[in-house]
Structure 1
Amino acid sequence: MNIPMLKIYILLTFSLAILCAAITALAIIFGQARPASMLAVLEVDPFATRLLVMDVDRPEFTSSIYLNIDICKLDWSPDGSRLVFSQLLPQISLVDRNVFSLSVLPFQTRQLTINDRDNRAPAWSPDGNQIAFIAVDDKQSVIYLMGAEGGGSRAIARLNVQVSVLRWSPDGRSIAVEFWNGGASLLNLVTGEMSALRAFAVDLAWSPDSQYLVYSAPHDGDSDLFLYDVAATTETLVMDTPENEVNPLFSVRGGLIAFIQQDMIDQVMLIKTIGSVPQALPLPQFSDIEGLRWSYDGRR
């Protein structure tokens, strides 16, 4: 290879490397933290999905694995030793997902469901012994429970709507069920009863003692916050303003509710009790805030 051609080759190689780096930088990256110091990150590009598990106390990623493109709903086990997720396996089906678990040490994937249903949105129980998931069966959304190692799944509820998210109560006695078209229900795992919540309720969040649910729902032309008393099955309007209040989240000890107030500029707000004046946090102005997360000590 002569010198001019070699220079062109080096230039093209360097340009391709920069392009690949740019594509990676533009990838959709999201993660979920475990209770201690492990973080799961999905790196998605048009050709592959890479799952990385890192120890945030060290700069390097501890492990990584390539998965199929269609992967969703990562959820850590309560002890932080495993992840559960659903993914599509094209060699088995082009439309149906299955549920998998991934152990961190050793780094190993295990398929938990093997069937011809579309299995979605797996969620660990608070004690780590069970996994709830959704299966689309004959145009119904069926909620199943299975053991943490897979197998022995049993249907606990059948709904004629598309379910999007399952949210266990901290005491493990109930599951809040959100629907794709808006709205939610509360499934009592002890009695098997399903209670409908306010129409188009979204962004459900449990109080730490499992006594309340807070959520956002349409009210007087905007979205306001409501508090649902699980035992009394009553609902109370928490916030009623001309703005939209969304993404409510109880603090770790349950004494505060953080939420986003949407107007020309989004603001992060705190409210202590029903009827109290909300407090705007002194943060930089944002045009679009997507979500909130409390730190584990409840101070941030």
Structure 2
Amino acid sequence: MVITKEVVIEVTATPLPTQSTVGGGNGNLAYLTEIDEKTSNLILLDLQSNSTQEVNVDETVRKNPSWSPDGKYLAFRMAHETGDRIYLLNHQTNQVTELTNLPLHITAFDWSPDGEQIAFLSTQGEITRGGSLYTFNIEDGTYAEIRQFPDNTRVIVGPNVEWATNNLLYFSVFAWPEEEGKFGLPKIQLFKTDSIGSYEERLSDSRFDYYFPTVSPNMSQIAFYSQAEEDYDILIMDSDGSNYQLLGKGINPIWSKDGSQIAFISNGNPTIINIATGNVAAEVEMFAARSPSWSPDGEQIVFAGKSKESSYYQIYIVGADGNNLTLLTNEPYNHDYPIWQP
């Protein structure tokens, strides 16, 4: 991969105080630390050396940083006066590059499986209606608007995009049901398209909201969570939008690497369920938790959690069997959106 955009920031290795870590496994984690209500910093944690490094940027970093498939780059959104932009950290050189110097407000993005492009949802500046789906070529810096959404769509409410295969993208946006028009109740709806946007197929059932849908590794099923009276349901369906199954109550579903399990948050507890049997494989008791993510080998999950003794969300890892709960951070800040380097 060749990055042709101008390097705007040089990251300085600034080790932070050692945390109270027990164990931790191998590899690197990225996560956000919320300094105050308006400022979040991007942190890298080396699990082998237990050393942390802050990515020194001038603006607040938004949620959900994302590693490239080969683990060499970390993409993240950063606030800007004209709207959120995507930046890229080269993990080998510690250089940060601005990718999308566009008059757009980017709300969600994902890597292509080959790591050569990024797809993103955006709207124009302060406009809240409509929006578009773009692809961005990292090597030559070109981008293409592959789908444009009508005014009865909102890409700033519950947006999500997942580039499942090199020629298949799934995305969810806030939209009115087709059969009811503007008189219906708007929901977060799920669609799919190809890498050039030559078609758009709606997969969703207007009974549900499709919060942060995620595709199984073999592309056969999609997991999501939906509002259910006073709480949320975790559901899975076939990739064509049929055969709904209720897994349980919770939020933030994420597939294991082999597709046999799903991790999610249920009643504040990180929970792992076996898809074939429907049995709970592990449940970790916490006061509150969010943002689970699997390790590359599928043996652990990392999450942001709050114990009964803590006022802040800290980063934990735990085995896929629910054992060996390990605290990775212990600071007077909220931490969130941990993601394991591939």
Question: Would you say same fold, with TM above 0.5?
Answer: yes
Q: Which residue among 103, 110, 116 is the counterpart of 1:75?
A: 110
Matches within 5 A, 1:143-222: 143-179=190-226, 182-189=232-239, 192-199=242-249, 201-218=250-267
Which structure has more RCO (C-alpha within 8 Å, separation ≥ 6)? Answer: 2
Structure with the bigger percentage of helix = 1
Distance apart, 1:44 and its partner CA: 1.5
The one-letter code sitting in structure 2 at the alignment partner of 1:227 is I
CA apart distance, 1:88: 0.9
Report whether the alignment pairs 1:52 with 2:52: no
1:8-48 CA distances to partner (integer Å, 9 max, x unpaired)? Answer: xxxxxxxxxxxxxxxx9663224432123233343313334
State the TM-score, normalizing by the size of structure 2. Answer: 0.67
1:29 equivalent to 2:78? Answer no
Change (3 A) 1:57 1:94: same
Matched with 1:225 is 270
Shift of 1:268: 4.0
Amino acid at match of 1:189: S
- C-alpha change, 1:87 and 1:191, in structure 2 (3 Å) is closer
Contact 2:111/2:118 (CA < 8 Å) preserved in 1?
yes
Aligned partner letter, 1:131? L
Larger radius of gyration: 1
- Structure 1 residues 44 and 196: CA distance shift in structure 2, 3 A: same
Q: Which residue of 2 aligns with 1:289?
A: 335
C-alpha distance in structure 1 between counterparts of 2:163 and 2:128, whole Å: 26
In structure 1, the residue corresponding to 2:199 is in which secondary structure?
coil
Q: Does 1:133 align with 2:171?
A: yes
Unaligned runs of 5+ in 1: 1-23
TM-score w.r.t. structure 1 length?
0.75
